[in-house]
Amino acid sequence: MTEAEEDAVLELHGTEATQRVAHVLAGSLRAGDLLVLTGELGAGKTTFTRALGEGLGVLGSVISPTFVLSRIHRNDPEGARPGGPSLVHVDAYRLSSAEEVDDLDLEYSMDGAVTVVEWGRGLVEHLAESRVEIELERAVGAEAPVVEGSEEDLDPRILRIGFVGPRWREERTGPLALKLREAARH
C-alpha span between 94 and 84 (Å, rounded): 30
**HSE (CB half, 13 Å, CA atoms) of 43?**
18
pLDDT at residue 144, rounded to an integer: 53
| Strands annotated E in 21-111 | 34-38, 70-73, 86-91
- Mean pLDDT across 40-48: 92
For 121-166, how does the pLDDT look when each residue is reduced to its tens digit (9 = 90+)?
Answer: 999 999 999 999 999 999 874 455 555 544 445 679 999 999 999 9
- Mean pLDDT across 168-180: 81
For 105-120, how does the pLDDT look when each residue is reduced to its tens digit (9 = 90+)?
Answer: 998 899 999 999 999 9
Q: Residue ranges of the domains in the chain?
A: 8-185
pLDDT at residue 67, rounded to an integer: 78
What value does the mean pLDDT of the chain take? 88
CATH of domain 8-185: 3.40.50.300
pLDDT at residue 24, rounded to an integer: 96
